[in-house]
Structure 1
Amino acid sequence: MTNIAFIGLGIMGGPMAVHLVKAGHDVVGYNRTPAKTRPLVEAGGRAAGSVAEAVADADVVAVMVPDSPDVRDVLAGEDGVFAHARPGTLVIDFSSIRPDVTVELADQARELGLRPLDAPVSGGEAGARDATLSIMVGGEAADFAAARPIFDVVGRTVVHVGPSGAGQTVKAANQLVVAANIQALAEAVVFLEAHGVDTAAALQVLGGGLAGSKVLDQKRDAMLSRSFDPGFRIELHHKDLGIVTAAAREAGVVVPLGALVAQLMAAALANGDGGLDHSALLRGVERLSGR
């Protein structure tokens, strides 16, 4: 049994923390909205009133919060992890944030004797709920090996991709590919419907060929029913595509399709769709098509 502090118990972090409890670990959770600790407590975990309380006796600190400023506050803030975690603690950031911020925070962590890993995930709410996440991990190989039992509880595909920041870089690439696939699927749905095709049947046969993808499998029902309850919100994907375009500029490479889907995601946000699932890019295609 490992003592784990889990900071951030939202759509993704909540189910992940529950899986860790069910695997036999002692998990103490903290969330800015205390009510979100309830599923963890009901599963046998404990709730903390602050980050400091959560990490005081932790062997592992896991973080799952929305954006770079949130991670910086949780880790390096006045009452954050860096101020209260014991030397030798593994600090696993499951959040999706800027690679440069990750590298900066990892350097600070190592100066304090902590063992940082950036471990962003892919798979959305369903992946968190079913413990089938893909996890791309940056950091020291020895720290990755030590954390592997934790990763294996919450994920199915777990890969060490390089030094600190590499996990976030791979996640940015993941978000580019996913956004492009969702946009293409949305356009295909509107195109098929405009021609009066049995769209459900069409997507079934497309899914069996080269056009098939996990995006098609997981998002077609939402698009067909126009049910956009968030598994991964547009406002978060908008943030991630900002990371993609900024990191591409920094590296001196061009991502023309990435720039386009970033603008389409921004348009969805501007039209009030930020709280919807990213499959609601379909609504943007409908707006552009006058439908």
Structure 2
Amino acid sequence: MIAFLGMGLLGSNFVRAMINKGEKVQVWNRTPAKATALEQYGAKAFGAVADAVKGADTIHLTLKDDASVDEVLAMAEPGLKAGATIIDHTTTSAQGAIDRTKAWAKKGFTYVHAPVFMGPPNALESTGTMLVSGDPAVVARVEPALAKMTGKVLNFGPETGKAASMKLLGNLFLITLTGGLADTLAFAKSTDVTMDEVYKLFETWNPAGMVPARLKRMTSGSYNSPSWELSMARKDARLMIEAADKGSLTIIPAIAGKMDEYIAQGHGGDDWTVIAKDSVPK
């Protein structure tokens, strides 16, 4: 028996996919209507979270944050089956995942943090990417079930909380990418570039493929053979800021400030990726 707590778009589609695979699933949501809506697909909804987890060997969660996970699990605890496994797909802090793993182990339960890079359609189709880390024996035990939920499971090794850090790292990139695209659109609007022209550029010139090579260049530690000098990149950033409507750019002015710091340190003739020099992990 499986229990699933948190019937948002992601959780509800995970449940539907599980039912389609023949699983029996008990569900709960803070807003009861979202749980009862899944009864038409074969789920059994409960008004109390402690009742929803009764008899379940595995409890899945898709909630909001650390606080909501702790709160819901505390409410569920009286109904938990001895030795049950808790699999949390919520995006949380690494420290929260570490603390919960230790705390629930002391109580005789297994807590596994397995955040995802998936949208609701992926959850329904069992496609996408799920992250996991921690005790190798525990990961080996739960990984087959996790693989049924998604197209790919990435195991980041024995360090508890590593999966949480990797999930936040990925989301940071997505937020930064969206911020950069927002600046791109703001610049286009300021300079009378149409959306058709923007699409034409990116349909032909796809910078996504540059990411692995750019990461290697940024983390190489060697910046003295520039393909684009920092001083020249800073000049272009100045032209962008001057051409855009005042205050319309968010990301570029911040990067320009970082460029100024490194130019002041004597890196103007280095490759512009030198601005990442002090950020590279050991």
Question: One fold, TM greater than 0.5?
Answer: yes
- Segments of 5+ residues of structure 1 without an aligned counterpart are 214-284
Structural mapping, 1:1-291, within 5 Å: 3-75=1-73, 77=74, 79-81=75-77, 83-162=78-157, 163-212=159-208, 288-289=247-248
- For residue 206 of structure 1, what is the amino acid of its counterpart? F
Deviations, residues 96-119 of structure 1 (Å, cap 9, x unaligned)? 111111111111111122121101
- For residue 164 of structure 2, what is the amino acid of its counterpart? Q
- Segments of 5+ residues of structure 2 without an aligned counterpart are 210-243, 250-282
Aligned counterpart, 1:260:
none
CA distance in 2, matches of 1:90, 1:43: 24
Query: Does the 8 Å CA contact 1:131/1:153 hold for their aligned counterparts?
Result: yes
Aligned counterpart, 1:249:
none
Give the drift of 1:35: 0.7
Query: Does the 8 Å CA contact 1:23/1:153 hold for their aligned counterparts?
Result: no
Give the drift of 1:286: 8.9
Give the drift of 1:201: 4.7
CA distance in 2, matches of 1:117, 1:160: 12
Residue 199 to residue 26, structure 1, CA distance change in 2 (3 Å):
same
Give the drift of 1:207: 4.6
Query: Does the 8 Å CA contact 2:87/2:112 hold for their aligned counterparts?
Result: yes
CA distance in 2, matches of 1:142, 1:154: 20
- For residue 130 of structure 2, what is the amino acid of its counterpart? I
Instruction: Provide the aligned C-alpha RMSD in A.
Output: 2.4
Give the drift of 1:129: 4.1
Residue 140 to residue 122, structure 1, CA distance change in 2 (3 Å):
same
Deviations, residues 107-152 of structure 1 (Å, cap 9, x unaligned)? 1111122121101111333433443232111222222222223322
CA distance in 2, matches of 1:126, 1:208: 28
Q: Give percent identity, aligned residues only.
A: 25
Q: Could you say which structure has the larger radius of gyration?
A: 2
Q: How many residues were matched structurally?
A: 214
CA distance in 2, matches of 1:207, 1:116: 44
